[in-house]
Each structure stands twice: as structure tokens, then as C-alpha cells.
Amino acid sequence: MKEMSVVKKSIITAVCLALCVVLPQAFHAVPNAGSVYLPMHIPILLCGLICGWQYGLLAGIAGPALSTLFTGMPPVAVLPAMLVECAVYGLMSGLMMKLIRTRKTYLDLYISLIVAMLAGRIVAGIARALIFARGSTTIATWTTGYFVTSLPGIIIQLVLLPSIVFALMNAGLIPRRYPKSAGLRL
Amino acid sequence: MPIEINHVSYTYFPGTVFEAAALRDVSLRIEDGEYIGIMGQTGCGKSTLIQLMVGLMVPSEGKIIVDGKDINERGYQREELRKKAGIVFQYPEVQLFETTVEKDVAFGLKHSGLSKTEIAENVRWAIETVGLDFEKICAESPFSLSGGEKRRVAIAGILAAKPKFLILDEPIAGLDPKGRKDFLKLSGDLNADGVTIIMVSHNADALAEYAQRVIILDDGRLIMDAPVKEAFRDVELLRDKGIGIGQAREIAHLLTACGYPVPEDTVRYKELLPFLIGIGKGGD
Amino acid sequence: MHRLPTGMYLPGDSVIHRLDSRIKLLALFIVVVSILFINSLIGYEIMVVFMAVAVFLSGISLKVALNSVRKLSWFFLLIFLMNTLFYSTENAWFSFWKVTPSPAGLMQGLEVVLRVALALIASNIMTSTTAPMEITNAIESLISPLKLIGIPTGQIAMILSIAIQFIPTLSEETDTIRKAQMARGARFDSTKMTEKAEAVMPLVVPIFLAAFKRADELSIAMEARGYRGASGRTRKKFDPLKYQDMSALAVVIAICAVLLIIRLKT
């Protein structure tokens, strides 16, 4: 399988958006789901990693919005900051995958993910302080818990996302990043 | 380990606009070692019933009693039920997730308390029982397998726990004829080994071949709970309820209508064959 | 799913059902932004009355409208407690380490809870009275000016509408996967850090595989039918706005203007 078509990337993005709404609901069965696993971030990061920064960006903006619209979570008050954070996730994961080529897929994934997740949190933090300063104290008191459990979340995503990517590659649903070609080693 | 379903009802979304009664006052009893078929039109409550049986859902009314214990009573250990019951959903291959076939099949045994050697033995047994070559396949990624292989791996994953009763929801959907034959034979072999089999299926011929008893649901109500021959006797009733009666019975019925003395309890090909041969030879 | 998903579309013929979906979307946006600006008792009173009227006009029973609020009650409790206990140290009733419950915190807690509840009800009114496809058409229409700066609004709208259509399908699929794994003995609750990711793999990996399989099938089907991209795609033609739409929008703007004035005066 070569590069994915625009149609395929678009539909993958659509599916990731749907999962932004569906996944948090599925995690209801898991205790502490919301703050630890951050289920909504998974499809967004994945979209950026697989389809590129434009699609990742769209996923990051539309994902949380759809989730709030259809399930009420994340709550509207938190949505603006969440939009910024997720937009950066989608954008950066896509950008980094474009820029980093270590010849080892899992390394590319780890680096892109770490950069994206840190960048997202930093930018969102700045945005909260400057733009969403109104009521930032209340959001801050709520997100204190969020940041404390943030590190485990990052580690979990680092384990989950590459596993998902490799499963998809093994199933032939997305192209391999470095095709195992028998001949030329470019 | 008899399963008793006592006056069970289930309603989805009670008290809302979308309220829908899936099961209405259903009662039945399944003994150890039986092979039961469950039939009914789409939406008749089959899926709801089997999920209630394994404790995935709690009935709105009524009790589910397994081995003498009410599974929804406070204090009942679900673990007990998990060890005894296995359920294979439709298109079970979606449950595959591990990096190798061996790990995926072993997944269900993680919390079973068995030793590593015992688990490895069960896994090998399960994979071979579904007709796959253990050595060849154990280290493969489940996702690189063919559709038929994936399904076998998924079923192996459930068999590895050696359940005492096995529920199968349309297990042969989407399989080619050989796959279907292999699977049905497997179910028969397991039943011969003492595993209680409960199979939801539209395929009346398959059930006629292997099941001893057939249960038919219609719009959430139990309308038939009888041995296979009796269940398929009244062709008009079944047709009226939208239940496919299987080709063997259909042919027998048509022949009877044409005046040939084919007995009403002919439900299997093997039973039909002598009559066809007789008719073909020009006699009765 | 045994719980009714909140905010689901409930077909009807009420005043609000019949409004143009673009107006509703705009109105929702304006209302939610104003809710975030209220900080006086009278402001809240006005908004609560407005919401009550809106619920009445939408034909949705009060019970259903409040259902979504009730579902988040644990979250509201948490926010309320966190604010009460940590928001400010002035006039604290007592002090224990960092815990300083204060009247200011109490008020802040109440305000935040009220704001989120109101916004939730507003957004529920929107989703209950507008079919998902209508929502996407409205979004596409409202963002179409962005085409001028090179943003592919048609493609975005297509992605959104496909996403919305996938939600019920994937939700059901996810439910099946969860049940199948649970029946296999999967346990999603584990306290050890290292096991947390492992515990959740049997849920997450199959869900993505199933979802991507559907994506694969759909994209093959679309390309086989000659679909190349969203340009030239037929868009929903909206009926011209009726006077009900305009007046509804006017009412919303008026109320929010009033709230803004109240806010600026305090």
C-alpha cells in the first residue's frame, strides 16, 4: 500500500472524530478513565500521526467540540482550553511525523508523541493564563487534578498509540511507514 | 450445570421515548450436555437472552439461575460464571488484539489461577481443536491472518478456558461452506465431550443436524421450546413467524403437499434421502 | 447502550424544531458565550427564565432536559467541592493544610456549576431539536466564507457529516467489543501503573481496528463510485430565512445584549 488517498485520509479523520465521542463513553467501565487515560486524545493523536497535520488539526478542533455537543463532556466551560490543547496535539503529531525520519517507526512515533503531548499542554497552559484568564482560577482548581495525573497519562498514551499503529499496519489497514522492500534500501 | 431462566423480562431504556421490550416473561431450562438451538427473526430478543445468560446484562424482571445460584444476587461471584460460561459473539474476530496468536488465545486465562504450564497446554489444545497448526501460527500476528483463520483464533480464545457451556451467536455467519462444515462438526464434537452448546442461528438445517431441542422467540416471547422434530413440524406457523425452516424440511413439506407420503418429522437430509431415492426410482 | 445518550435528536414539530438550523447554531453560540459572562444574580435569573422558556418551546419534557444535568451530578459535586474548599482564603471557616472553605469559594462553586448546567441545557435543546445532518449542513453553511482564505470547507463538512453518521455504529461496535472481552475475562480495573495501559488494550486496539476497517470499506466504496474529493459536491440548499428565524435570532441577541449591559454595569 502506498500513500493514502485524500478520500481515505478524510474518512479516517471522520472515524477518529466519531471515536472522540464514542471512546470516552466506552471508558465509563474503567475507573478513573477520564483523567488518567484521557480517551479523547487518543484518536486525535492517531489522526495526526497517520494522516498528517492538516487532518490532525481538524480532528483536534472538531473532536472535543463534537464530544461536548453529543455527550456534554468535556463541559462547555473547559472546552476552549481543550480545543487549543487538542488542536496542538493533532497539529504537532502530524508535523513531527513529517519532519522526523529515524528509519524506525516506533522511534518516530515516540518522538512525535512526546513532542506533541508536551507542546499541547504547554500551549494550552499559556492560553489558559492569557486568554482564558476569566475564571482561570476555577479551571485551574479543576485541572490541578488533571496535571497531577498527567504524567501517567502521557506514559499510557506512549504505550497505547504505537500498539494501535502497529496493529493497524499489521492488518494492512494503513500503509507501513518504512515498507519492508526486499531490494532497494533508500 | 443446569441453567434456569425464570420469568425473565428485559426492557431497553425504560421510561423514555425509546423504551422497547426485548424479552417478555421468558422461562426455560437447559440441562447439562444439551445442544440447544435458538431461532427467531431479527429483533426477537435472541441476543438479549444470551447476554442475560452470561451475566453481561441484568434482567428487568425475573431470575437467571446457574447451577442453583441466582447470578444477579448480591454476593454472587461473577468469576465463577466466567469460568463456566463461554460466549462467542457474531464476527468474534473483532476481539483479537494481541501481538501474537498465542498471547491472544491465552488472554482469557490470565486471571484464571492456572499455572503457566497449564495455560500453555490449554492454549495449544484450543488452537489445535479449531483446526489450526499450533507451531505455524502461534507467533504470528493475529491481524495478518485470513478471515477464516482469524475466526478460528477467536473461537480458540474462548475454548481455551474450557467452558462448561458455550453460547454461540450466529457462529457460521460469513463462513464458506467448508468453514461452516468444520465449525458445526467442532460444535458436535464438543457436545459429545460434555459441553453444553447453545447456538443462535438462522440456519435450520444446521440445527436440525446437531441440536436436540429448538427454542423459538417471537417479539420477545417464547413461542416454541421443543425437540427438533416437533419444533419444525408446523411449517405454516413457522413461515408465518418469519422463521426459515431449512431446506430438508421444506422439501419434505412440498413433497407431502404433492401427495408423496413423506413423514412430518423429516428434518434432516439423511432422513429425506431414502424417500428421494425411492421417489426417483419411480416407486413411493 | 442501556443509558439513553443525552442530547439525542428527538423528532418533533415544536417552534424550535422548525427554526432554521443555522440560526439555532448561531443562537447556541451566542447564548453559551453570554452564559460565560454572567456574574450577577439578576443575570442568572434572566438566563434561567430564558432557558426554561426555550425548553418549553422546544417540546422537550423538563425531565429529559434535566436528565443530562443529572448525569453529570458527580462532576458538578466535584467542581463545587473543589471551589468551596480551595478557591479563596478570605473569611475561611476553618483552615486545614491547603483546605480553606470559604463563602467566596461556595459562591464560585455554585456559579461554575450553574454556568455549565445552563450551557449543557442550551446545547441539549440544540441537539434534541436538530437532526445531526442538519447540524452539519448548518456548520458547512456558516463556515463557507472561510473558503476565501483557502480552507476546504466542503471537505471539512463531508468529514463532519460522515463522523456524525459513524457515531451510533461505532458506539454499538464498541459495546459489543467491550462485552466480548469482559465475557473472556478481561478486567479493565487495575491499580498498578505498569498494568494500566495493558489492561485497556483489549478494549482500545479492537475498537480502532474495527473502526478503521469500516473506514477502509467506505473509502473503497466511495472511490469506486468515482469520488475524488469534496469540490463540486452538492450542498444543501437552505430555504430563505423566515420571519420566525429572524425574530428568534433577534430575541436571543436582545437578551444577550441585556446580559452584557448588566455585566458591564457591575
User: What pLDDT does A16 receive?
Assistant: 96
- Containing B22, the helix (H) or strand (E) segment is strand B20-30
B232 & B265 share domain:
no
User: What pLDDT does A186 receive?
Assistant: 41
**How many angstroms away from the CA of C33 is the closest CA of chain B?**
31
Contact residues on chain C for B111, CB-CB shorter than 8 A = 185, 187
B195 & B254 share domain:
no
B29: helix, coil or strand? strand
Rounded CA-CA distance C86/C98 in Å is 7
Rounded CA-CA distance A30/A67 in Å is 18
Q: Do A170 and B141 touch (CB under 8 A)?
A: yes
Q: For B156, which residue in chain C has the nearest alpha carbon?
A: C184
Q: Give chain A's domain count.
A: 1
**A35, pLDDT greater than 70:** no
Q: For C202, which residue in chain B has the nearest alpha carbon?
A: B97
Contact B18, C5 (CB under 8 A): no
Q: Name residue, grid cell 440447544.
A: B36
B51 & B71 share domain:
yes
Contact residues on chain A for B99, CB-CB shorter than 8 A = 163, 166
C-beta neighbour count of B241 within 10 angstroms: 17
Q: Which of A18, A26, A72 sits opposite C120 (nearest CB)?
A: A72
Please compute the mean of the pLDDT values over residues B152-165 and round it to a whole number: 91
Q: Identify whether A181 is part of a domain.
A: no
Q: Convert the pLDDT of each residue in C19-72 to its tens digit.
A: 888 888 888 888 888 887 777 788 888 888 888 888 888 887 777 777 777 777
Q: What's the complex ipTM?
A: 0.87
B236 & B267 share domain:
no
Buried b (16+ CB within 10 A) or exposed e, B93-105: bbbbbbbebbebb
Average pLDDT, chain A: 82
Q: Identify whether A179 is part of a domain.
A: no
Contact residues on chain B for A170, CB-CB shorter than 8 A = 141, 143-144
User: What pLDDT does A145 receive?
Assistant: 47
Q: Convert the pLDDT of each residue in B65-122 to its tens digit.
A: 888 888 888 878 777 788 888 999 988 888 998 889 999 999 888 877 788 899 999 9
Q: List Cα–Cα distances, A42 to A123, B174, B194, C208, in angstroms.
A: 18, 32, 45, 10
Q: For B157, which residue in chain C has the nearest alpha carbon?
A: C184
Contact residues on chain C for B17, CB-CB shorter than 8 A = 10, 64
Strands B221-227 and B20-30 come out as: unpaired
Q: Do C126 and A152 touch (CB under 8 A)?
A: no
- Asked if A26 has any chain C CB less than 8 Å from its own CB, the reply is yes
User: What pLDDT does B242 receive?
Assistant: 81
Give me the total of CB pairs closer than 8 Å, taking one residue from chain A and one from chain C. Answer: 194
Q: Do C183 and B56 touch (CB under 8 A)?
A: yes
**A77, pLDDT greater than 80:** no
Q: Do A141 and C68 touch (CB under 8 A)?
A: no
**Domain coverage including residue A156:** 6-170
**B153, pLDDT greater than 90:** yes
Closest CA to C155 of A53, A15, A55: A55
**A128, pLDDT greater than 80:** no
Of A100-104, A138-142, C120-124, C233-237, the least confident: A138-142
B189 & B266 share domain:
no
Preceding peptide of A31 cis, ω within 30°: no
Range picked from A58-62, B6-10, B82-86, B157-161 for highest mean pLDDT = A58-62
Contact B188, B159 (CB under 8 A): no
Q: Do C2 and B57 touch (CB under 8 A)?
A: yes
Q: Which phi and psi (to 5°) does residue B253 adopt? A: -65, -45
**A157, pLDDT greater than 50:** yes
Q: Do A170 and B144 touch (CB under 8 A)?
A: yes
Q: Do A72 and C229 touch (CB under 8 A)?
A: no
Q: Which of B16, B18, B87 sits opposite C183 (nearest CB)?
A: B87
B143 & B88 share domain:
yes
B275 & B145 share domain:
no
Q: List Cα–Cα distances, A7 to A110, B176, C218, in angstroms.
A: 27, 32, 9
Q: Could you give the dihedral angle defined by the CA atoms of residues C9, C14, C19 and C24, in that order, rounded to the nearest 10 degrees?
A: -50
User: What pLDDT does A184 receive?
Assistant: 45
Average pLDDT, chain B: 87
Contact residues on chain C for B51, CB-CB shorter than 8 A = 179
Q: For C106, which residue in chain A has the nearest alpha carbon?
A: A138
User: What pLDDT does C13 receive?
Assistant: 79
User: What pLDDT does C194 receive?
Assistant: 63
B19 & B37 share domain:
yes
Q: List Cα–Cα distances, B60 to B66, B104, B220, in angstroms.
A: 18, 34, 13
Q: Do A167 and B143 touch (CB under 8 A)?
A: yes
C30: left (phi over 0), alpha (psi -120 to 50) or beta: alpha
Q: Give chain B's domain count.
A: 2
User: What pLDDT does C253 receive?
Assistant: 87
Give me the total of CB pairs closer than 8 Å, taking one residue from chain A and one from chain B. Answer: 12
User: What pLDDT does A17 receive?
Assistant: 96
User: What pLDDT does A79 receive?
Assistant: 82
Greater model confidence, A117 or A31: A117
**A141, pLDDT greater than 60:** no
**Domain coverage including residue B269:** 246-284
Q: For A172, which residue in chain B has the nearest alpha carbon?
A: B144
B63 & B187 share domain:
yes
Closest CA to B67 of B49, B52, B50, B85: B85
Among A28, A46, A78, A138, the strongest candidate for a mutation testing the C interface, having the largest count of C CBs within 10 A, is A138
Share of chain B above pLDDT 70, in %: 98
Q: Which of B13, B92, B161 sits opposite C180 (nearest CB)?
A: B92
Range picked from A110-124, B14-28, B244-258 for highest mean pLDDT = A110-124
User: What pLDDT does A9 receive?
Assistant: 93
Q: Identify whether A1 is part of a domain.
A: no
Q: Identify whether A74 is part of a domain.
A: yes
B132 & B186 share domain:
yes
Q: What confidence category does residue B128 fall into, taking pLDDT thresholds of 50, 70 and 90?
A: very high
B128 & B159 share domain:
yes
**B146, pLDDT greater than 60:** yes
Please compute the mean of the pLDDT values over residues B148-155 and round it to a whole number: 91
Contact residues on chain B for C187, CB-CB shorter than 8 A = 111
Question: Which grid coordinates belong to A91?
Answer: 497539529
Q: Identify whether A186 is part of a domain.
A: no
Q: Do B107 and C186 touch (CB under 8 A)?
A: yes
Greater model confidence, C263 or B137: B137
Q: For B79, which residue in chain C has the nearest alpha carbon?
A: C185
B88 & B189 share domain:
yes
- Asked if C182 has any chain B CB less than 8 Å from its own CB, the reply is yes
Residue numbers of chain C with a pLDDT score lower than 70: 1-8, 88-92, 97-98, 189-194, 228-233, 266
Domain coordinates in residue numbering, chain C: 21-131+239-265, 153-224
**How many angstroms away from the CA of A7 is the closest CA of chain B?**
24
- Asked if C237 has any chain B CB less than 8 Å from its own CB, the reply is no
